[in-house]
Amino acid sequence: MTNGNAAVLYRQSGAVGVIMINNPPVNTLAKQVRLSIAELISLTQSDQAIKAIVISGVGRNFCGGADIREFNTPDRQVRPMTRHLMNIVEDCEKPIVAAIHGPTLGGGLELALGCHYRIVDAGAQLGLPEVHRGVVPGAGGTQRLPRLVGFRKGLEMVTSGTPVDAATALEIGLVDKVVADVDLVEAAIAYATKLIEQRMPVRRTSDIDIDVDTVEGEVTVAGLRAALEKSARGMQAPFRCLESVANTLTMSFEDGWAREAEISEVAVASDESRSLVHAFFAERQTSKIPDIPADTTRRGIEKVAILGAGTMGGGIAMAFANAGMHVTVIESSQENLGRGLSRIEENYDATRKRGRLSDAEMADRISCIHGAVEMSAVAEADLVIEAVFEEMDVKKTVFAELDRLAKSGAILATNTSTLDVDEIAAVTKRPEDVLGLHFFSPANVMTLLEIVRAEKTSPDVIATVLDLCKKIGKTGVVVGVCDGFVGNRMLAPYFRQADFLVEEGALPQDVDRVIEEFGFRMGPFRVYDLAGLDISWAIEKRRAKTRPTEERFSPLLERICALGRHGQKTGAGWYAYEGGRKAIPDPIIETMLADRSAEMGINRRDISDEEILQRCVYSLINEGSRILEEDLAIRSSDVDVIWLHGYGFPRWRGGPMFYADTVGLSEVVATLDRFHAEWGDKWAPTALLRELAEAGSTFKEWDKTRG
């Protein structure tokens, strides 16, 4: 027999036919691959010399599953479709061994499940992560996996999307053998030869009986559904996955398989899936900066210095240490340094006690963090990150000092959250080396990093920092200089609406419920209480000095703070806490709100959930579009990434700008026009929004014009 098509190679080894998927870069099941595998299986079936078959992949993995480039093209429908291919493989009358290596996810694992035996390289990862894209495994995965690994484990893997490593795969019966440091394909041929010698039969996963009875299985399903109703509130894909796996309890394989296809098609067409796919591509896009070519020379970053070992400095130091990079933390006195380093140690220790860090890992990370009290310790650093007090004069003094002490070519970053980075850069003789690196708190946990490109920041500084983000596990988004940058600037009108809503008649728990039902992890009032009302109030006081008077802020914050209610940390804020973390609506706050409304001559009214949602979320959208107009973010999808990673916007809604596209921009503009007529200029839709709405366009389309 000759080699198959180039996308699939074929050779014979003894009595074993070896089919190699050869479709770089990740061996997807594109049309030609499906056709060739099906044809080769048919040919080997009738070849008397062949007694068993091995399927494997050339290059870095076994098989990458369905081909994304074929989605929404006629090629996807060409038979055998992916789900038919798995049945052709399984129906083969000669034993087929899958030889698996690399990431074997989604359709790749479904192909392996269609094979009769599985041998796997120790470094492989196996899973069905479709739920993370808002879809359901659609090529038999929901029917075969629970038959092979047991109902409970299969249900958990499909609904969580979490992959397992090779050792776990062996333990749960997903694979038959794990090999390390050998030629995988040769090992699979030897395994297949043994099957032939022992006259082992084909072993079809679809023939296996589910290992729980219907009642027992349904109890498991009910338990998981209840848990998902809390953890995956508002989403549909996890419930669709649940339904499809649950069908194995009551349906034959054929019926469950047919139903899986129907469920999968509905999921593929859902807004949820579109949003999750948008989020995935949006994240990849952030490192592409139109005027900075990909081949821009980067500066080397080996040594990092951090000024200030407070909340942010400590967290930033941990972020670097977690990536194995050495950092020197510089404080203003031994006492402050000692306090800062102890806090870092306490943080690591808390993680260790939770079992998420071993003793050795903790020691390793701590050994990456060095302390100093002389500013001259910055002399060797390739990157200095300033995280001292948020006061312009202090920052200016520090940067003038840095200019004197840092070596030539060092990148000088400020972690300011509100101050003008251009003004800070201007005190140095090297503003091209200065930028803002706005980490989010806790900096060792939060993945977002706003990279603030100041007027004179050099392109290679931006390119270097974008690379660095990948190294320390951050999602970097380039933004321009303005008060609050992108994220916090959008947050301000959102919180202002929350304040107005409670003055007009809503209660904090109403607003929080609506926002949490929308999918945010926490509504604005619970966020206030977690962050500390004293901190919000201090920021408001400072901002009030520079903001126009019409941007009034509610005095409610001040009044609540005056009662010593600073939020969770003092046991009360917008809510009562009674010693725990559960937010309990408090009559004191209701009275305070009623008094405030009376004082303003407002007749408190019932405010619908729809109005609450639109006023909070559309204020984000309008401010986001203003930011785009002002060229402070490159793409609307960058704004989305900021909100997904920094503010808990529900990923399955894609981010505020993509959500606007989903609602329809003309509908958003019509609502904003209505709000504008009722509440004044703050609500006037931006010219960009109106222009896109009138053209029947979307932010996604607009992004394409931005390079």
Q: Which amino acid makes up residue 127? A: G
Shortest gap between Cβ of 443 and ligand NAD (angstroms)? 8
Interface pick for ligand NAD out of 184, 307, 369, 381 (rule CB under 6 A): 307
User: 398, 539, 668, 672: which one contacts ligand NAD (CB under 6 A)?
Assistant: 398
Binding flag, residue 447, ligand NAD (CB under 6 A): no
Beta strands in 27-121 (DSSP E): 52-57, 96-100, 103-105, 117-121
- Minimal CA–CA distance to 195: which of 116, 255, 277? 116
CA gap 162, 178 in Å, rounded: 20
What is the helix (H) or strand (E) element at residue 66, kind and residue range? none
Task: Identify which of residues 387 and 412 has a Cβ nearer to ligand NAD in the complex.
Answer: 387
Q: What's the sign of the alpha-carbon dihedral 407, 410, 415, 419?
A: positive
Shortest distance in whole angstroms from residue 285 CB to ligand NAD: 24
- 336 binds ligand NAD per the rule CB under 6 A: yes
Decide whether 649 or 683 has the Cβ nearer to ligand NAD. Answer: 649
490-511 in b/e form (b: 16+ CB < 10 A) is bbbbbbbbbbbbbbbbbbbbbb
Smallest distance from the beta carbon of 348 to ligand NAD, in angstroms?
18
The correct pick among 310, 532, 555, 571 for binding ligand NAD (CB under 6 A) is 310
- Site residues for ligand NAD, window 413-442 (CB under 6 A)? 415-417, 439, 441
Q: In the bound complex, which residue of the shown chain has the CB atom lying closest to ligand NAD?
A: 310
Is 248 one of the binding residues for ligand NAD (CB under 6 A)? no
At 331 the three-state DSSP class reads: coil
Least distance in angstroms from the C-beta of 404 to ligand NAD: 14
Which residue among the candidates 70, 90, 110, 386 is catalytic per the annotation?
110
- Under rule CB under 6 A, which residues in 358-387 are in contact with ligand NAD? 387
Q: How does DSSP assign 548-559, residue by residue?
A: -TTS---THHHH
Number of residues that bind ligand NAD (CB under 6 A): 23
CA distance 55 to 316: 47
Tell the smallest beta-carbon distance from residue 317 to ligand NAD (Å): 11
| Site membership for ligand NAD, residue 313 (CB under 6 A) | yes
Active site includes 272? no
Residues within window 181-200 making contact with ligand NAD, judged by CB under 6 A:
none
C-alpha dihedral, 333 to 336 to 342 to 343, nearest 10°? -150
Q: Which of 70, 90, 130, 386 is catalytic?
A: 130
The secondary element (H helix, E strand) that includes residue 65 is none
* 503 touches 553 (CB < 8 A): no
How many C-beta atoms surround the C-beta of residue 397 within 10 A?
A: 13
151 vs 439, beta carbon nearer ligand NAD: 439
- Segment contacting ligand NAD (CB under 6 A): 84-92, 390-398, 429-437, 463-471? 390-398
Going by C-beta distance under 8 Å and a sequence separation of 6 or more, which residues neighbour residue 91?
204
Give the whole-angstrom CA distance, residue 21 versus residue 41: 13
- 110 included as an active-site residue: yes
Query: What would the two tokens of residue 193 be?
Result: 């030869």
Q: Does residue 331 bind ligand NAD (CB under 6 A)?
A: yes
* Separation CA 297–CA 459 (nearest Å): 9
Indicate whether 275 belongs to the interface with ligand NAD (CB under 6 A): no
| Catalytic residue list | 110, 130
Binding residues vs ligand NAD (CB under 6 A): 307-313, 330-332, 336, 340, 387-390, 394, 398, 415-417, 439, 441
